[in-house]
Structure 1
Amino acid sequence: MTAFILVPGVFTGAQVWAETAARLATGGDEVHTVDLTGLGGTRAAEPTDVEGPVDLETHIADVLRAIDVVGPAAGGEIVLVGHDYGVHPVMGAADRRAGRVSRIICVDSALPRDGVPALAAVPDQRLREQTAERGSAEPGELSPPARDEWQRWGSTAGVPAAALDRLTEDAAPQPLGTLLQPLRLTGAVAAVPTTGVLCTGNGTSIELVRMLVGMGDPALQVLTAPGVTFFELPTGHWPMLSCPDELADVLRKAAAGEGHRLEPADATEPPAHLRPFLLDVPQLPRERIGNVDLYLPAHAEEPRPAVVFVHGGPVPADARPTPRDWPTLTGYARYAAGEGVVGVTLDHRLHDVADYERAAGDVAAAVERVRTDPRVDADRIALWFFSGGGPIAADWLEAPPPWLRCLAATYPVLAPLPNWGLPAGRFRPAEAVAHAAALPVVLTRAGLESPEIAATVEEFLAAATRCGADVEVVDVPNGHHGFETRDPTDESREAVHGAMGLVLGRLRDQVAT
């Protein structure tokens, strides 16, 4: 028999687990739900308790007490389940009782890191900044959201109206100290097997995790360990309310060690994004100016149009090589230069989804640097966005300058994913396209795209159809995200040629040949 200890997330008490707990119990498992202090529970009156505001350590103590009560009575193994913020006290408690916990299950939440406060995982960036500004100098509470504000904390997709009403009625203020106090781990928890339950309706999937791991961030390599598994649920951020029976089934399977495992990177093979570009392109000279690289056409005697290729992300700050040297970006830039226009790659600082404003500023500055170069025709520029760089395209769709002759996007994210928490009003190409007027747009769509990203592309195309935007689509039916290095097929090559031809067609009349 498994003893499940279910720990709720931000603003919520044990009652949020009621239906899932009942399903587990009917299957013969022992189930305990934790009311965290200040969120439904009260601080235990023990001599060892420290007086003062409720913080993360208070909630870790709550989970430790549950482990210590359940442990001697449990006939089987203890599985700690944390949803949302609840993963932080779960990790802290498991670190101190590592020998008594058989598995940690993270329900739609990232694996916390030592020294990082739970505030870093709050999806709403503006709220995160405002809370950080209050800081420890203003101890207190964070008010729970109103009924129509829960989306700021995660997608409510699939949650019945009555359940959303109950969630709102039962919500309690979150003590600020629980979000601001850094999590401290000794490292013992690393030996405890872990399962991530990813809610695809909130913008996370196994494929997206695989892509992030493939970027080479050392902190994410732990996700390929043998004891780490994953499940997906096609719902929003609150599966205990939207699909409690399905969640219970997944929890039971996870406790048994089932689930999808990520393969560790093959040390003898480069990661997918560093494999060779699928086309043979001319090895024309590159000139590096700050964070910008120019690939110049041969024998250019007059200013030429330019195509600026904007990489995706987020990309770890210490990733090497940096994106402007990735084979896909250099391949496109050299291809453009071989066709008589200036190909441009750059590095921008999209290291986290909170960095879009800074990255957009980097891109705008790079474009101006390119336009002021005497070898560039400043009135004939195309911008080409890839992957997670797609949201930056919204700025240029919203108010296209006259010198922007074409905007291209390849396997792009064209609307923020639900768990990104981007502020309203910016970085939403699916909304900005209504203002694009006559700006030509070339969109390359990967047929084997992850469903979460594919949904943003379809949202964009639907909006473009409604407003009559000039959008041409190049399809790669059997192509994955990053097909230029993952799928070196004739179909992929034709797509690259087709997209490049459409973009250059908007510039070619001014190219000297």
Structure 2
Amino acid sequence: MTDFVLVAGAWLDETAWDEVVPVLRAAGHGAHPLTLSGLGGKRDRPVGRQTHVTDIVAEVERLDLRDVVLVGHSYSGIPVGQAAERLGDRLTRVVFVDASVPADGESFVSTWWQGPAELQGQLDANGGLWAVPEAEEFEGQELTGEQIARFRKGATPHPGAALADPAVLDRPLGELPATYIKCLLDGPEPAEAVARLLTSERWELTTMDTGHWPMFSRPDELAAILDKAAATS
């Protein structure tokens, strides 16, 4: 049995995986969605250097999981990629779901596609928090009005300290066994940093013809890809 530890991207807590978890469990896997500090029911927990990485490692150790597939979506690819390096032989595979990937010394803010100043400006204007997107910002991502409402109801303004936290990597990320899921409605090609990693023999690419939040738009298909990733590990 594989144990999936599921970490959603910015603003989201463990409830983002509510439609994926039952499918994984029905396939015989363990499925452990995680809420990071500063979000959801943990919104009052302080966030500083490496907090989200520690959250992930601590959850694996608390549950004493041994055959682990770490799943990081969007922003959470950065702490998940770092945590994966620290799990040793507990780790089976990492799956990045349309995710950012960590680069040593870089952060989510420093690699923001519109430039670090743009995202930092948003954080500064909102008391150090990244505001939850307005409904119209989800256009073109294959989400229904009901799914957008569910997203926004469960979302928390994201702590900027996590977004600005520089990654710490002890070895090249390409050495990890990994699957990268590219959601094509959010852009047809992986980012340059991801494309470089995909040249590694240990990384594989798969695609989904959906938007950036497949746990909402296509949960069954996403669960099937995760199941396949576990089987190939």
What is the TM-score normalised by the length of structure 2? 0.88
| Aligned mates of 2:122, 2:147 — CA distance in 1 | 32
Q: Which has the larger radius of gyration?
A: 1
After superposition, residues 159-178 of structure 1 pair within 5 angstroms as 159-178=143-162
The DSSP-based 3-state class of the residue aligned with 1:230 is: strand
Contact 1:55 1:176 in 2 (8 A): no
Structure scoring higher RCO (CA < 8 A, sep ≥ 6) equals 2
Q: Does 1:184 align with 2:168?
A: yes
Matched, 1:235 2:210: yes
Instruction: Determine if contact 2:6/2:72 at 8 Å carries over to the other structure.
Output: yes
Helix, strand or coil for the counterpart of 2:42?
A: coil
**Partner amino acid for 2:160?**
L
List per-residue Cα deviations over 1:114-141 (Å, max 9, x = no partner): 1110124545x27x523324779x9621
Distance 1:2 1:180 in 2: 32
- Paired position in structure 2 for 1:96: 86
Q: CA deviation at 1:244?
A: 0.2
Task: State the shift of 1:183 in Å.
Answer: 0.8
Q: Structure 2: how far apart are the matches of 1:232 and 1:188?
A: 24
Residues 430-469 of structure 1: CA distance to partner in whole angstroms, max 9, x if unpaired?
xxxxxxxxxxxxxxxxxxxxxxxxxxxxxxxxxxxxxxxx
Deviation at 1:201, TM superposition (A): 1.2
Residue segments in structure 2 that go unaligned for 5+ positions in a row: none
Write the distance in 2 (CA, Å) between the matches of 1:193 and 1:226: 9
Contact 1:102 1:192 in 2 (8 A): no
Q: Which residue of 1 aligns with 2:136?
A: 148
Aligned counterparts of 2:166 and 2:36: Cα–Cα separation in 1: 17
Q: Does 1:40 align with 2:40?
A: yes
Q: CA deviation digits over 1:310-353, x for unaligned, max 9?
A: xxxxxxxxxxxxxxxxxxxxxxxxxxxxxxxxxxxxxxxxxxxx
Give the deviation of 1:43 after TM superposition.
8.1
Could you tell me which residue of structure 1 aligns to residue 222 of structure 2?
247
Return the match for 2:120 from 116, 129, 132: 132
Asked whether the 8 Å contact 2:79–2:102 carries over to 1, the reply is no
Residue 86 of structure 1, aligned match among 68, 76, 90 = 76
Structure 2 counterparts to residues 351-500 of structure 1, below 5 A: none
2:54 to 58, 61, 65: 61
Please give the residue correspondences for 1:248-397 in structure 2 after superposition, counting only pairs within 5 Å.
Answer: 248-257=223-232
Corresponding position of 2:108: 118
Two-structure CA RMSD over aligned residues (Å): 2.7
Contact conserved, 1:56 with 1:89, CA < 8 A, in 2?
no
Q: How far is 1:113 from its partner?
A: 1.2
With over 3 angstroms needed to count, the CA separation of the structure-2 counterparts of 1:56 and 1:103, relative to structure 1, is: farther
- Report the equivalent of 2:14: 14
Judge conservation of contact 2:72–2:96 (CA < 8 Å) in 1: yes
* CA shift in 2, pair 1:221/1:253, >3 Å: same
**Amino acid of the residue matched to residue 179 of structure 1?**
L
Inter-CA distance 142–43: structure 2 relative to 1 (3 Å threshold): closer
1:31 maps to what in 2? 31
CA distance change for structure 1 residues 134 and 160 in 2, over 3 Å: closer, same or farther? Answer: closer
SS at match of 1:105: strand
Distance in 2 separating the partners of 1:229 and 1:176: 31
The TM-score with structure 1 as length reference comes to 0.42
After superposition, what is the alpha-carbon deviation per residue over 1:210-242, rounded to whole angstroms, capped at 9, x for unaligned? xx88xxx9x854322221111111101011001
